[in-house]
Chain A
Amino acid sequence: MIYWQLFLSFIQIGLFSFGGGYAAMPLIQGQVVTLHQWLNMEEFTNLITISQMTPGPIAINSATFVGMKIAGVPGALVATLGCILPACILVTVLAKLYLRYRNLSVLQSVLHSLRPAVVALIAAAGVSILLTAFWGTGAAVTLAGTNWVLVVLFALCVVLLKRFRWNPILVMVLAGVLNLAAGLLRF
């Protein structure tokens, strides 16, 4: 019944990710890592990285990736279908209502209240990704166990992104290459 579980999980992800893009990330983490343990935190972070570098929404990419990993092509199909089903129904209904009544102000203002929560959840997901990067999956946060190379790379990336407005994909690739270089030089 793995197909049914995949389907249900990704329906929830599709149904509750307001605001697109990164907004789906905390939900995917909740379902895929915390609840069902289909991926560990490290694999999840790799998935987000891959999503960033390939076209397509994070939610669709994740559904395909997790589905493939858990149950092959049928799994990927089921998960992707679950992911877009809520949107198909809701968007079609709303579009129909709009084309008839053309008034969306209530929806817009509800969305206005949801936005701060979505931002907070994105930040929280970012924190758990960084915890995994710096201290490993599920490991204790100690000074001795810290991966200092990654801490330095993180700081560098933030500067490149914020100060010099580098392209995010370029920044991520650079971080990967520098980490490989650091690993090779040490040996």
Chain B
Amino acid sequence: MNQRLRLLRKLFLSTLYLSAFTFGGGYVIITLMKQKFVDHYHWIEEEEMLDLVAIAQSTPGAIAVNGAIVIGYKLAGPLGALVAIVGTVLPPFVIISLLSLCYETFQGLYAVQKILEGMQAGVGAVIASVAWDMGRGVVEERDTVSTVILIASFVASCFLEINVVYIILICGVLGVVRTLLEKRRAAK
């Protein structure tokens, strides 16, 4: 029992630490989790970790949270998952809560307004750059269906203003149908 408590405490502290100091996206934190739990603590095998990461990526939601859940669950069952979730969510929750209070106060200042306005152009550029890289990855697969999905989804969201949830649902169904067709073709 004592050993289990120690494991849970270590799990909590590691996820808390990783979440508080990881800037920039789920893939970064997943890499750091691998370093911590596979290379440092030797709690999980490398190959198993890759599969757990695949689960974290294939499930909807933030990759950092999903990663924490699979690792916590694998190490200590539902309680482990819970501990890992709390550890991961706590830092952003506290930071953003505090920031949202200051934000209201500072928002009226001229300098803050101008900086935020300028940063809109910056964040637009960051998103454009990410979308460009990812989009090129899709187009370079030279898979007609993927390219059509890419263009159709963009038109549907940007010009027709169709709800994002429907677009994702339709593409998900399309993916299932496509996979089934490919499996049937391969079986023949």
Please report A residues at the B interface, Cβ cutoff 8 Å.
12, 14-22, 24-27, 29-30, 42, 45-46, 48-50, 52-61, 64-65, 68-69, 73, 76, 80, 83-84, 86-88, 90-92, 94-96, 98-99, 102, 104, 106-130, 132-133, 149-151, 153-154, 157-158, 161-162, 168-169, 171-180, 182-184
**What would 13 A/B residue contacts be, using CB atoms closer than 8 Å?**
A16-B168, A56-B95, A65-B99, A76-B93, A91-B55, A96-B73, A104-B58, A109-B175, A116-B150, A120-B153, A158-B125, A172-B126, A176-B119
> Do residues B116 and A116 form an inter-chain contact, with CB atoms below 8 A?
no
> Do residues A46 and B116 form an inter-chain contact, with CB atoms below 8 A?
yes
> Do residues B111 and A180 form an inter-chain contact, with CB atoms below 8 A?
yes
**Proximity bits, B149-185, A CB within 8 Å = 1, else 0:** 1111110011000011101110110111011001000
> Do residues A55 and B61 form an inter-chain contact, with CB atoms below 8 A?
no
> Do residues B122 and A122 form an inter-chain contact, with CB atoms below 8 A?
no
Given contacts A64-B96, A64-B100, A92-B81, contact A120 B149 (CB under 8 A): yes
Q: How far is the CB of B46 from chain A (nearest CB, A)?
A: 15
Judge whether B89 is part of the interface by a CB distance below 8 angstroms: yes
Please report B residues at the A interface, Cβ cutoff 8 Å.
19-27, 51-52, 54-66, 69-70, 73-74, 78, 81, 85, 89, 91-93, 95-97, 99-101, 103-104, 110-111, 114-132, 134-135, 137-138, 145-147, 149-154, 157-158, 163-165, 167-169, 171-172, 174-176, 178-179, 182
> Do residues A14 and B149 form an inter-chain contact, with CB atoms below 8 A?
no
> Do residues B95 and A55 form an inter-chain contact, with CB atoms below 8 A?
yes
Smallest CB gap from B135: residue in A: A119
Q: Which 5 A-B pairs have the closest CB atoms?
A: A179-B118, A56-B92, A113-B175, A87-B61, A175-B122
Output the residue of B111, B117, B138 with the most chain A CB within 10 A: B117
> Do residues A94 and B55 form an inter-chain contact, with CB atoms below 8 A?
yes
Output the residue of B59, B119, B167, B169 with the most chain A CB within 10 A: B119
Q: How far is the CB of A142 from chain B (nearest CB, A)?
A: 18
A64 to B62, CA, bound (A): 14
Given A48-B123, A180-B114, 9 other A-B contacts at CB below 8 A?
Answer: A17-B62, A55-B22, A60-B65, A68-B96, A92-B69, A109-B182, A116-B138, A169-B24, A175-B118
Output the residue of A19, A29, A80 with the most chain B CB within 10 A: A19
Q: How far is the CB of A138 from chain B (nearest CB, A)?
A: 14
Given contacts A57-B65, A92-B78, A122-B131, contact A180 B100 (CB under 8 A): no
Smallest CB gap from B51: residue in A: A98
**Cβ contacts under 8 Å, A57 to chain B:** 26, 62-65, 92
Given contacts A30-B163, A121-B153, contact A18 B124 (CB under 8 A): no
Q: How far is the CB of A145 from chain B (nearest CB, A)?
A: 15
Given contacts A26-B157, A122-B130, contact A59 B62 (CB under 8 A): yes
**Cβ contacts under 8 Å, A30 to chain B:** 163-165
Q: How far is the CB of B177 from chain A (nearest CB, A)?
A: 9
Output the residue of B65, B81, B123, B131 with the most chain A CB within 10 A: B123
**Cβ contacts under 8 Å, A174 to chain B:** 122
- In-complex Cβ contact of B179 among A61, A109, A122 (8 A): A109
Q: How far is the CB of B1 from chain A (nearest CB, A)?
A: 23
- In-complex Cβ contact of B150 among A21, A55, A117, A169 (8 A): A117
A91 to B98, CA, bound (A): 30
